[in-house]
Amino acid sequence: MSAAPSAVSLKRDLGLWSAVAIVVGTVIGSGIFIVPNVMIRNMGTPGMVFVVWVTGGLMSLSGALSYAELSAAMPGAGGEYVYLREAYGPLWSFIYGWTQMWVAKSGSIATLATAFFLYVANFHPELKQTAGHIPIPLGPSGAPLEVSYGQILGMALILALGGLNYFGVKIGGGVQVLVTICKVSLIFAVIAIGLGTGHGDLANFRSTAPVTGGIAAFFTALVAALWAYDGWNNVSMVASEIREPQRNLPRALIGGTAAVMAIYLLANAAYFYVLPAKAVAASDLVAADMMRKIFGQAGANMVSIAAMISIFAALNGSILTGSRVPYAMALDGLFFKSVAKVHPEFRTPGISILALSVWSAILLLSGTYDQLFTCVIFASWILYGMTTAAVVVLRRKRPDMPRPYRTFGYPAIPIVFVASALCLVISTLINHPRESLIGLTLVLIGLPFYYRWARRRS
């Protein structure tokens, strides 16, 4: 049997626009300001960069179309956790939830908070200074761990947003809508300035940069694009708090992902219109360098502000959605019982929100989250592929399940996504065998806990 459910349930306080804002706001973080550099260095020409952006966008849209069917049919808290449980059983859903809680989602939150304070440091360089040391051997070569003022700021931001979401999903959703509108408006302003102020040259689209080349380079560029697209699936994690989920979830998943794809293509058109391929390849902050060429340092500062707002929205969306996964695990009796509690007044999984926020802040402080996150990508993409394959599995396993939305292009669309995920997994295993094996090890560490909780549950 499952853990005793809370006497108070989650409340459906999120409408369509909140759901769309979660998709767009969580996906668009810092990637669009940075990754064109990685992509042009691997592909060589702007045309090929656009091919990679379109490929990554279509892959993400294929996933969104598949998830739309699953989320409309099973609008419960936890998203993929629920779909994997229904298709393959509790073990696979536990593995997903375990990796999300301890590494994937918490590591992503820590990464976003670090990117935020690094952008703030453009205006306040003193944030990079050391505030003190923690006497544990986690620094370089086993030295004491250094803590910067910026890390303290990042931790405070995580905990503040965790507290904000603790006081109600409607508050967190409202903040998400507001900051998403702000950041999309700023990004469109950057696009309009790049394309419409006469500082560009169409010849730049025919320019070239030194290229790595080969199939490995294509997958490296594609992984960078998929990192920028990552997060389109997060809205399914709060499905139990969305009004009219059978209608609003498919609209948010498909519409939000398509909107992000359009924004990314327009932004890259602006970058390459103003900067030739070699300049993009030499730039670590492509958007800032484009605006610097047009308006000087004031333009670069504008991009820094846009990036900070963009990261803030992605951070809030990640905390809002990610906290529902450990809550769903605890509700099934496969995590600590207290995490399943819902606050009687605010109607949020308060302990789950605080647990994820505190652990994410600790990962930021440790400075090891980036390595952990790299290691778990291999296992995560296996689970993404399995989740999309669940559309096919459940069509056979539970043909009578009500499906308010059915995947467009079934079965081709889910199969394309699964095949693409398989290629990425194989590529990661070949090119990064050490990180892949470490990622699997992190997953296997959770198995003793699963069997302990499963025995107690039964």
With cut-offs at 50, 70 and 90, classify the pLDDT of residue 369: low
- C-alpha–C-alpha distance, residues 255 and 20, integer Å: 7
- Predicted confidence at residue 51, as pLDDT, reads 95
Each residue's pLDDT tens digit, 220-278: 888 888 888 988 888 999 998 999 999 999 999 999 999 999 999 999 999 999 999 99
With cut-offs at 50, 70 and 90, classify the pLDDT of residue 367: low
- C-alpha–C-alpha distance, residues 391 and 250, integer Å: 14
What 162-166 contacts at long range (C-beta under 8 Å, 24+ apart), as own/partner pairs, is: 162/319, 162/353, 162/354, 162/356, 162/357, 162/358, 163/357, 164/316, 165/316, 165/319, 165/320, 165/323, 165/348, 165/353, 166/343, 166/346, 166/348, 166/350, 166/353, 166/354
- Predicted confidence at residue 1, as pLDDT, reads 44
CATH architecture, domain defined by 16-457: Up-down Bundle (1.20)
Each residue's pLDDT tens digit, 211-225: 877 788 888 888 888
Residue of 355, 137, 317 lying closest to 231 (CA atoms)? 317
Residue 238, beta-bridge partner list: 77
Question: DSSP characters for 66-132?
Answer: HHHHHHHH---BTTHHHHHHHHH-HHHHHHHHHHIIIIIHHHHHHHHHHHHHHHHTTT-GGGGSEEE
Question: DSSP characters for 290-329?
Answer: HHHHHHTHHHHHHHHHHHHHHHHHHHHHHHHHHTHHHHHH
- Predicted confidence at residue 185, as pLDDT, reads 94
Each residue's pLDDT tens digit, 165-221: 999 888 988 899 999 999 999 999 999 999 998 888 999 999 999 887 778 888 888
**For 25-29, 141-145, 347-351, which range has the lowest pLDDT when averaged over its residues?**
141-145
Mean pLDDT of 72-96: 93
8: left (phi over 0), alpha (psi -120 to 50) or beta: beta
- Predicted confidence at residue 354, as pLDDT, reads 96
With cut-offs at 50, 70 and 90, classify the pLDDT of residue 48: very high
Q: Is the pLDDT of residue 7 over 60?
A: no
Q: Is the pLDDT of residue 139 over 70?
A: no
Mean pLDDT of 351-375: 80
Mean pLDDT of 79-93: 94
- Predicted confidence at residue 365, as pLDDT, reads 83
Question: DSSP characters for 361-399?
Answer: HHHHHHT-HHHHHHHHHHHHHHHHHHHHHHHHHHHHH-T
Q: What percent of the chain has pLDDT over 70?
A: 94
With cut-offs at 50, 70 and 90, classify the pLDDT of residue 50: very high
Do residues 369 and 110 make contact, with C-beta atoms less than 8 angstroms apart? yes
- Predicted confidence at residue 73, as pLDDT, reads 93
Each residue's pLDDT tens digit, 377-404: 777 788 889 999 999 999 999 999 999 9
Do residues 280 and 271 make contact, with C-beta atoms less than 8 angstroms apart? yes
With cut-offs at 50, 70 and 90, classify the pLDDT of residue 117: confident
Query: What rounded mean pLDDT belongs to the chain?
Result: 89
- C-alpha–C-alpha distance, residues 319 and 158, integer Å: 8
- Predicted confidence at residue 32, as pLDDT, reads 87
Assigned token pair, 87: 């298709």
- C-alpha–C-alpha distance, residues 326 and 57, integer Å: 29
State the Cα angle at 354 between 351 and 357, rounded to 5°. 150
In the chain, domain spans = 16-457
Q: Which residues contact 43 (CB under 8 A, 6 or more apart)?
A: 49, 51, 52, 211, 217, 218, 221
- pTM for the full model? 0.86
Rg (CA), the chain: 22
Q: Cβ of 71: how many Cβ atoms within 10 Å? A: 31
Task: Choose between 64 and 143: higher pLDDT.
Answer: 64
Torsion sign across C-alpha atoms 8, 13, 16, 18: negative
Q: Is the pLDDT of residue 431 over 80?
A: no
- Predicted confidence at residue 40, as pLDDT, reads 94
Mean pLDDT of 301-320: 91
Buried b (16+ CB within 10 A) or exposed e, 300-315: bbbbbbbbbbbbbbbb
Local structure of 136: helix, strand or coil: coil
- Predicted confidence at residue 140, as pLDDT, reads 60
Assigned token pair, 84: 């994997």
Which helix (H) or strand (E) is 273 found in, with range? helix 245-274
The rounded Cα 148 to chain-centroid distance in angstroms is: 25
The rounded Cα 35 to chain-centroid distance in angstroms is: 15
With cut-offs at 50, 70 and 90, classify the pLDDT of residue 18: very high
